Amino acid sequence: MSTVPLPSAAPRREALWQFLREEGDAWLFIARTVLSYFIALWLAMRLQLPSPNTAAMTTIIVMHRQSGMVLAKSFYRVFGTLAGAAAALVIVGAFPQQRELFLGAMALWIGLCAGGATLYRNFKSYAFVLAGYTAAIIALPVIDAPGGVFESAMYRITELMLGLLVSAVVNDVVFPVRVRDTLRQTARQQYRHFIGFMRGSTGGAIARADMEKAHLRFVRDAVTLEDLRSSVIFEDPQARSRSAHMELANQRFMAVSTSFQSLHHLLNRLQRNGGQAAAAAVIALYRPLGEALGDAVPSRALLRRLRTARHEMPAQAAAAVATLDAARAEDFEVGAGLVQRFARELELYVISQLDLGGERIAGDLVERARFLRGNDFAGAALATVRTVATMALLAVFWIGTAWPMGANAMLLATIFSGLFATSPGPVRVTLKVAFGYLGGMVAGFLCVFFVLTRIDGFPLLVASLLPFFMVGAYLFTRPALSLFGLGCCMGLAYILAITNPMVFNPVHFINDGIAQILGLGAVVLMFGLVPPAIGSAWLRRRQMAALRGQVALAAAAPLPGLRYRFESVNRDLFQQIVTQTVAGSDESRQLLSWALAVHETGRAIIELRHDHRDQPLPPKLEAAADAAVTALGRFFQQPSSPAYAAALAAVDAALACARTAPGESVALPFVREHLHLIRLALVDDQSVMARYMPAPVAATETVPHAS
pLDDT digit string, tens, across residues 646-663 = 999 999 999 888 888 776
The predicted model gives 150-164 an average pLDDT of 88
Given a cut of 90, is residue 664 above it in pLDDT?
no
Q: Shortest CA distance to 339 belongs to which of 366, 320, 367?
A: 320
pLDDT for the residue numbered 209: 67
Given a cut of 90, is residue 453 above it in pLDDT?
no
Q: Which amino acid is at 532?
A: P
pLDDT for the residue numbered 649: 93
Given a cut of 50, is residue 555 above it in pLDDT?
yes
Rounded CA separation 512/504 (Å): 13
How many residues does this entry show for the chain? 707
Q: How many CB atoms lie within 10 A of CB 177?
A: 18
The CA–CA distances, whole Å, from 267 to 203, 413, 443, 593, 677 equal 11, 56, 65, 17, 11
Given a cut of 60, is residue 697 above it in pLDDT?
no
The predicted model gives 378-404 an average pLDDT of 85
pLDDT for the residue numbered 290: 79
Confidence grade of residue 643 (pLDDT, cut at 50, 70, 90): very high
Express each pLDDT in 558-614 by its tens digit: 888 888 888 888 888 877 777 767 666 777 777 778 888 888 899 889 988 888 777
The most confident of 24-38, 349-363, 602-616, by mean pLDDT: 24-38
Rounded CA separation 488/475 (Å): 9
Residue bearing the bigger pLDDT, 537 or 10: 537
Given a cut of 60, is residue 218 above it in pLDDT?
yes
The CA–CA distances, whole Å, from 234 to 186, 243, 244, 439, 580 equal 18, 11, 14, 34, 30
pLDDT for the residue numbered 700: 38
Lowest mean pLDDT among 41-50, 120-129, 382-391, 434-443: 120-129
pLDDT for the residue numbered 534: 67
Given a cut of 50, is residue 477 above it in pLDDT?
yes
Please list the helix, strand and coil fractions of the chain in percent, rounded to the nearest 5, in that order: 80, 0, 20
Residue bearing the bigger pLDDT, 61 or 139: 139
Confidence grade of residue 369 (pLDDT, cut at 50, 70, 90): low
pLDDT for the residue numbered 701: 37
Residue bearing the bigger pLDDT, 643 or 127: 643
pLDDT for the residue numbered 313: 87
Express each pLDDT in 499-509 by its tens digit: 878 888 888 88
Confidence grade of residue 632 (pLDDT, cut at 50, 70, 90): very high
Given a cut of 70, is residue 464 above it in pLDDT?
yes
pLDDT for the residue numbered 695: 61
Q: Is the Cα dihedral 365, 366, 371, 372 positive or negative?
A: negative
Q: Is the Cα dihedral 451, 455, 458, 464 positive or negative?
A: negative
Lowest mean pLDDT among 19-33, 187-201, 528-542, 559-573: 528-542
Contact status, residue 605 vs residue 262, Cβ threshold 8 Å:
no
pLDDT for the residue numbered 438: 92
Q: At what angle do helices 179-199 and 326-356 cross, to 10 degrees?
A: 150
pLDDT for the residue numbered 1: 43
The most confident of 199-208, 243-252, 282-291, 514-523, by mean pLDDT: 514-523
Rounded CA separation 399/393 (Å): 10
Residue bearing the bigger pLDDT, 61 or 72: 61
pLDDT for the residue numbered 665: 64
Residue bearing the bigger pLDDT, 348 or 214: 348
Express each pLDDT in 256-267 by its tens digit: 888 888 888 888
Residue bearing the bigger pLDDT, 64 or 87: 87
The predicted model gives 113-131 an average pLDDT of 79
Lowest mean pLDDT among 45-54, 60-69, 158-167, 510-519: 60-69
pLDDT for the residue numbered 80: 86
pLDDT for the residue numbered 239: 66
Rounded CA separation 375/125 (Å): 13
Q: Shortest CA distance to 120 belongs to which of 176, 172, 79?
A: 79
The fraction of the chain above a pLDDT of 70, given in percent, is 87
pLDDT for the residue numbered 35: 93
Average pLDDT, the chain: 82
pLDDT for the residue numbered 528: 80
The predicted model gives 228-248 an average pLDDT of 72
Express each pLDDT in 314-331 by its tens digit: 888 888 888 888 778 888
Given a cut of 80, is residue 31 above it in pLDDT?
yes
Contact status, residue 82 vs residue 66, Cβ threshold 8 Å:
no
- Strand, coil or helix: 46: helix
690 DSSP 8-state letter: G
